[in-house]
Structure 1
Amino acid sequence: MRIAHVSDSHLANVEGVATSVGATVALLRAAGHQVALYSPGPLSRRRPGELPSLPVPTRPYRLALPRLPDAPVELLHVHTTGPVGIAGLRYAAARSLPVVFTWHTDLIAYAPHYPEVPLGAAYAGLRLGLPWRARALRELARPGPGRDARLTELGRCLLAQMSLLLAPSAKTAEAMAPMAGRTPIVVLPTPVPAPTPDDDDRRRIRAELGIPPDAPVLLAVGRASPEKDPELLLAAFAQVRRALPAARLVLLGVRRNRVAVRRAARRLAVDDAAHLLDPVPRTRVGGYYRAADVLAFTSTTDTQGLVLGEAEAHGLPVAMVDAELAARPGTGTRRPCAAGTPAEFGALLRRLLTDEALRERVTAEGRAAVTAWSGARYLAELTRLYTTLRHSPTRRPAG
């Protein structure tokens, strides 16, 4: 099968969309499919499929030329709503190709925190033919119900361009259903790879950070920007420290919002036990999972939360506050979840650190779910959907 994947996130970016796209493309290619990946690349010495792009100041992204080369493909799989993703939708519409779209990002939840979201939405809406004038663009620029309504309008327009929407969680499928119209939605989470064992990781990383071998360690992986709620994480950690004074918190991947996080840690008197670390290559993240005792996940804006499955693959129990995302892919068991208050989330973290029977049960359930939702199972379902679309009459995009 000849498939083109389209993404505004370049694969070197250490974040969920790039990780999901890279995993999907690798599985398809290993199974013998001809897969072209169009995503941002450097201005020179680009690899096949990379589009010329420039880095975006203060962001780990690149802005690419939204023009896809003509190529013999049977289906497009689009992953983003930026210029490259919108170019992919227009490319498919011009050639009557079926389009699969994975909805990785909650635009409404991210819009208050990232000005590029409403800006990109304005670009997408205009390129897709929405009759937006000055009033609509003003509403996009201002927080409130008007912006949410415009983003919902864009969501309906985007879904009308798709043959199939893939939602990485039931939570995301439920949120997108009111916009779907005739577009079918299928829940298809991205699988996580099996970890590579390294018995020395726990000892080595703790030594590098100056953490005693027997100290309880909480880990958070990913951005510490406001939409991930680092304030709740730090406040809950302060609760944990009252019962477990030796506990440490490692925040891996902190780039944006670092000063604010450090200030909050000082205010809560946990700055001496909080380690703020820069992002590391994906090949090194596994060592931090093995060095920790619990993954603390305070975001309620994620559509899947790949770090949840990654942690479970490494035998790390997960504590979270997003009840809608607590169901594990594969087995349907649920991750431990608490209300999003420092007292209740802190109590859950403390139990997972101290209750050995609870830890063993949660760890076993997590590993079983990762094993059940394997790359092979994901690939079989994805290729079945591709094949169904390829042999069905192409539904022409609306508009």
Structure 2
Amino acid sequence: MEQQQSNAVIVGIQLQHQTDFAYSMEELRNLAAACQVEVVGELIQKLERINPSHYIGSGKIEELKSLLEASDASVVICNDELSPSQIRNLEAALECKVIDRTILILDIFAERAQTREAQLQVEVAQLQYMLPRLVGLRASLGRQGGSGGAGFKNRGSGETKLELDRRKIEERITILQAELEKLVARRQTQRKQRHKNEVPVVCLVGYTNAGKSSLMNAMIEAFHPGSGKQVLAKDMLFATLETSVRSIELPDHKSFLLTDTVGFVSQLPHHLVKAFRSTLEEVAEADLLVHVVDASNPELKQQIAVTEDTLRQLGADHIPVVYAYNKADLTDHEFPQIEEDRVYLSAILGQGIDELSAMIRERIFQDYVQCEVIIPYDQGRLVAYFNEHGHVKSTSYEENGTRLELECRAADLEKYKDALIRL
């Protein structure tokens, strides 16, 4: 059944010293659009602090009522996370549905979640958001529809969820978390195995819809054409909620794991950050971060700041970073081009992939050395080992063994130093 378009008025409080307010309101419009909601009006109030009972002041409530009537809107979307009493009081005063930024993002996540893990994570976040709001949600059940009784997506389970009492919701959260823990344990085992194999991990991070998945697909196509290992890439907010890991092997036999992660957005709800912790841990354990930036977005500085702030929250701000300015084909900037720690590229055109790969190679394979060795004939297995794990430039056969000119990890040379002759 096709989703019915809702009309909404967005409401924001601009606090003193808040420099990113206009940007966060623009972002709220985009989040609403991702939920098939048309924003038909906007109300802004400058305050020293948010009104604890109604979010906005009493004079603005009357103004908002008139705006709702004039614009034929049935929903009010607030730019902050509201308390249960704020939702209850606003709905009573305005006689319409009131939702906040958090439930909007939770709704988008719920619609985009494809894998079992992502679905569990989103449901836990939704239930944790609902728990303190049960009374308010029950009171306005007549006006509520959809996921958790608070969002737009009418999945039919909204009302049933509301009928669950607090105890049942808590039990459900416990069951979901137990199932999640099993999936997390499996992910951690895979991660430990990767560490054991000493394969470097490169993580794509960035604002939602900057083109991380498109860049991952361009890398896969460049180094493994026709492998069919592409990931989902769509021009929409939060298209990727699953962490995808792909092995990339460069022409000189060096390989690394490339990880695609969930996109960031300002004020990412703490319920979600908590629920997606295991997914986001991939970021904190990477050897290198590729911060993907939408070069064509006029708000790119703000988006970079949001991503850097989220990385700080995840404890990943100590990891080396290179910047991939994607969608350069939509700008006047020359590409492909490298400038210090930035590379301008176009994932969709597949241009700039070699330049980015060179930057990645330079930063994660610093422990590689160029050398010449002779491997005695009775140690033939080492010739095979270095052919697989190093980059052998030339091979010749001498009296006392096989002579290799190669580039390999310093640790491998050290490991086998007693079995070979270094020239």
TM-score greater than 0.5 by the shorter chain: no
**Structure 2 length normalisation: TM-score?**
0.29
TM-score using structure 1 length? 0.31
Structure having greater relative contact order (Cα 8 Å, sep ≥ 6): 1
Say which one has the larger Rg.
2
